[in-house]
Structure 1
Amino acid sequence: MHDLELEQLDVKTAFLHGELEEDIYMQQPEGFTISEKEDYVCLLKKSIYAAKDKGEIRKVKVQLSEEFEMKDLGPAKKILAMEILRDRKVSKLYLSKKGYIEKVLCRFNMQSAKPVSTPLTAHFRLSSALSPQSDDEIEYMSHVPHSSVVGSLMYTMVCSRPDLSYAVSAVSKYMANPGEEHWKAFQWILIYLRGTTDVCLQFEKIEDGVIGYVDADSARDLDRRRSLTGYVFRIGGCTISWKATLQTTVALSTTEVEYMAITEACKEAIWLKGLFSELNEDHQISTVFCDSQSTIFLTKDQMFHERTKHIDVQYHFVRDIIARGDIVVSKISTHENPADMMTKSLPITKFEHCLNLVVVEALKKEMDVLKGELVLCNAIVGNDMLTVIPRHKIEVPKSKEFQGCQVYKGRRQQFLGNGTILLNYWHR
């Protein structure tokens, strides 16, 4: 949002060195209970990782470099297995999990699979009825690494891939007892990742408030006929929060389904407003877009209605926050609602349109100008293909010499050509 500098520091056991400013007591740790004093509690003298105030202990960070060993990692390049890429010319930042995804694909032998265009298609109608029934099916599925696959997919989705939200939500329900058809759905998502390793989140310097999009799909769950809620939030054109989850109760109408979905989205909007308030960002009013006009009327109508009197009180709090003006709920066309991809399988064209709406794009499309492609050939030393050597001199190739040359992509460095030619090259 502000194109600020982002640095990384690695402090060894930083929390353990912080002094406590108040008395904190804790139960005796398991395995270290003092005989005949089991009802005693312990007084903490130093911080431990379980201490509730560990965030406050981070105040000592400024003094750590003087008091303790600390490694300066320089500009942030990776966090939680997410690669951080920046284009300072246009003030853009990218979060990519390409490296992590490639490792996952190799782990489950999917690195050579033929890619598909969507995370999950409509022909997958998953239910508990597809779980193993016979001993042979149970034996077969016991050797399938379904738990590891779902865990990897969940982590990928939570970090930087909102496009996986619906698919991961749909398959994770059957993680405890999946059948062969469930396993095929797990594999389908991996195959989709095979063709979208470059997809990433894009952040740029745009001044805008918190904007949310919410959608719901009635009776999506084939087992209990519960409905699915999906929302996605953006700020300054940047996607920052997303979720696809089953509703806890069975709704009796599509209006009720959308009403409960709006309530969940507004709860997230309130939390995001509080977060940005802590960061001294002035975003007073949040807007949540919904494609159901009848539901929007219901959020603003305080009158008693026979058809909606059974809706749980917990969902009616949304009326109060809307009446106070804290959040504005507005109508949006279904075709322009990116949350649509959070609740159902979509055709390729509509799915790609939703990705564009939340600025989730392939890294290679956005980074072509930043990376570029430089054909390197005819190295002065040995006249061989240029290997990855910084500041190595080359001859400027003639047109006929471009055939058979090799292209290098990767992290940018400077390559100094012969004479006054200064070229950019990339090494892995």
Structure 2
Amino acid sequence: MQQPEGFTVSEKEDYVCLLKKSLYSMKQSPRQWYKRFDSFMTSHDFKRSSFDSCVYFKKNSDGSFVHLLLYIDDMLIAAKDKREIRKVKAQLSEEFEMKNLGPAKKILGMEILRDRKVSKLYLSQKEYIEKVLCRFNMQSAKPVSTPSAAHFRLSSALSPQSDDEIEYISHVPYSSAVGSLMYVMVCSHPDLSYAISAITRYMANPGKEHWKSVQWILRYLRGTTDVCLQFGRTRDGVIGYVDADFAEDLDRRRSLTGYVFTIRGCAISWKATLQTTVALSTTEAEYMAITEACKKAIWLKGLFSELNEDLKISTVFCDSQSVIFLTKDQMFHERTKHIDVRYHFVRDIIARGDIVLSKISTHESPADMMTKSLPITNFEHCLDLVGVHC
């Protein structure tokens, strides 16, 4: 650290201070805080998850578990016995200055709502979304029924060409709006994945049409502020759905990967992103998408196995029969040997039985909304499949 003003040592003005303790806002501060918290948790018999370093758990003598999830200095504690929760809180209070906010109602802008009569839990961002709409003067906008429309064909050719367009877009809060929408999508709105994937490609040089697409998403949120993720008790375990849209990117003709994973019928993980290489056919695009989905499935299975959930096999559904054949043998070797070896590892995963790949109708796959703009009827059906309800 540079020598503070008024405490500079004469003839050693170019010297710096060696810190014995981390200071707030410096680069090493988060690391030092985490190391201290981690050592405290491990000293109290908690184990750190090998799949997520911010998840801690402890198994009690009666076989029950206590789980603690950390996000910087905010945390959630879960256990079947409230006495165990109070015990952990007391231990944390002895070591750290902390506030006990009681039963979890809100964290990181997400509201946690419970209906104990029907054993339902809801995750909502209504308050945050309303703030975003006010921030960008869209609180009175006319709502639309889907986050993306077929008439939006975004490409870099729509970036500003004239001085007037450049002047106009310089006054548009494009990056700020996209960042706010991304947080909504990441936390509680898998329905925004496809639309957000499209608008984030033009952050460096957005045009009027790109901004209209952002406003369209805000108009969609204007009519769906009450939408939330609904968790309940069902017999279903972790199920994945994956889809791909061939050559969706108009600039580089890369395909789009979309997947969503549900547990007990509610979405817990989702993604819509352009593939890193250009696919030569729909089968190749689907094959690369399945590989990415299986990587996520393996991670989820490992995480849940640590959290005392028996998930020996995960099922991933796709709508391409040819891709399912391709993952099981090399019958199309001459037409697929150019595919990067990083995508072929899925064959070993399926051969070992770690992941089960099954066929599903396109109309019954919620991943369909992750790769394209859908009519309102199909879109609402996809939302229902992943537990997104008003």
Regarding TM over 0.5, the answer is yes
Give the distance between the partners of 1:45 and 1:108, measured in 2 at CA: 38
> Among 365, 371, 376, which residue is 1:337 paired with?
365
**1:154-185 deviation digits (Å, cap 9, x = unpaired):** 00000000000000001111121110111100
Give matches, 1:232-247, under 5 Å: 232-247=260-275
For 1:299 and 1:229, the matched residues in 2 are separated by 17
Show the counterpart of 2:301: 273
What secondary structure, in the 3-state scheme, does the structure 2 residue paired with 1:124 have? coil
**Residues 210 and 58 of structure 1: CA distance in aligned 2, closer, same or farther (over 3 Å):** farther
Superposition pairs of residues 63-102 of structure 1, within 5 angstroms: 63-102=91-130
- CA 1:56 to 1:105, structure 2 compared with 1: closer, same or farther past 3 Å? same
Mapped to 2, the partners of 1:39 and 1:71 lie a distance apart of 37
Specify whether residues 32 and 254 from structure 1 end up closer, same or farther in structure 2 by C-alpha distance, changes over 3 A only.
Answer: farther
Contact 1:302 1:319 in 2 (8 A): no
Give the whole-Å Cα distance in 1 for the aligned partners of 2:112 and 2:291. 33
Q: 1:104 aligns with which of 132, 135, 144?
A: 132
- In the alignment, residue 305 of structure 1 is paired with which amino acid? H
- Residue by residue over 1:345-377, the C-alpha shift from the partner in whole angstroms, topping out at 9 and shown as x without a partner, is 001110011001111011xxxxxxxxxxxxxxx
1:49 and 2:30 correspond: yes
Note the C-alpha offset of 1:55: 5.2
| Distance (whole Å) between structure 2 residues aligned to residue 341 and residue 117 of structure 1 | 13
Q: Secondary structure at the match of 1:311?
A: coil
Question: Which runs of structure 2 are paired with 1:58-207 in the superposition (5 Å)?
Answer: 58-59=40-41, 62-207=90-235
Instruction: Write the distance in 1 (CA, Å) between the matches of 2:300 and 2:338.
Output: 30
Native 8 Å contact 2:125 2:184 kept in 1: yes
Distance of 2:183 and 2:135 partners within structure 1: 15
Residue in 2 that maps onto 1:256: 284
Equivalence map 1:275-424=2 (5 Å): 275-303=303-331, 305-362=333-390
Pairs aligned (count): 333
Aligned partners of 2:166 and 2:314: how far apart in 1?
49
* Alignment-mate amino acid for residue 31 of structure 2: A
Amino acid at match of 1:265: A
SS of equivalent residue, structure 1 residue 341: helix
Three-state SS of the structure 2 residue aligned to 1:100 is helix
Q: Check 1:36–1:83 CA distance in 2 against 1; reply closer, same or farther (3 A cut).
A: same
Counting only pairs closer than 5 Å after superposition, residues 191-230 of structure 1 correspond to structure 2 as 191-230=219-258
- Which deviations, in whole Å up to 9, do the C-alpha atoms of 1:296-343 show, x marking residues without a partner? 100011446111110000000000010110000000000101000000
Q: Is residue 245–residue 257 contact of structure 2 (8 Å, CA) maintained in 1?
A: yes
Quote the offset at 1:267 in angstroms. Answer: 0.4
1:70 Cα offset (Å): 3.2
Show CA shifts across 1:32-82 (max 9, x none). 799899999977799942236355235166523245543221111101101
Change (3 A) 1:324 1:116: same
Conserved? CA contact 2:2–2:17, under 8 Å: no
Give 1 or 2 for the bigger CA radius of gyration: 1
8 A Cα contact 2:326 2:332, kept in partner: no
8 Å CA contact 2:314, 2:356 repeated in 1: yes
Residue range with higher mean Cα deviation, 66-75 or 265-274: 66-75
Q: RMSD value over aligned CA atoms? A: 2.4
Structure 2 spans left out of the alignment, 5+ residues: 45-87
Q: Which amino acid aligns with 1:50?
A: R
Q: Which amino acid aligns with 2:190?
A: P
User: What amino acid sits opposite 1:232 in the alignment?
Assistant: V
The amino acid that maps onto 1:133 is Q
* Partner Cα separation in structure 1 for residue 40 and residue 236 of structure 2: 31
Matched letter for residue 346 of structure 2: V
> Which has the larger share of helix?
2
Residues 196 and 58 of structure 1: CA distance in aligned 2, closer, same or farther (over 3 Å): farther
Distance 1:39 1:145, change over 3 A: closer
Whether contact under 8 Å (1:209, 1:285) holds in the other structure is: no
Q: Distance in 2 between the 1:182 and 1:329 partners?
A: 37
Change (3 A) 1:58 1:167: farther
Q: Which runs of 5+ in 1 are unaligned?
A: 1-29, 363-428
| SS of equivalent to 1:73 | coil
Distance 1:43 1:312 in 2: 48
User: Tell me, what secondary structure is at the counterpart of 2:137?
Assistant: coil
Cα pair 2:265 2:385 within 8 Å, conserved: no
Partner of 1:367: none
Change (3 A) 1:112 1:36: closer
Distance 1:215 1:315 in 2: 15
Is the partner of 2:373 in helix, strand or coil?
Answer: coil
Mapped contact 2:22–2:29 kept (Cα < 8 A): no
Q: Partners in 2 of 1:294 and 1:67 — Cα distance?
A: 57
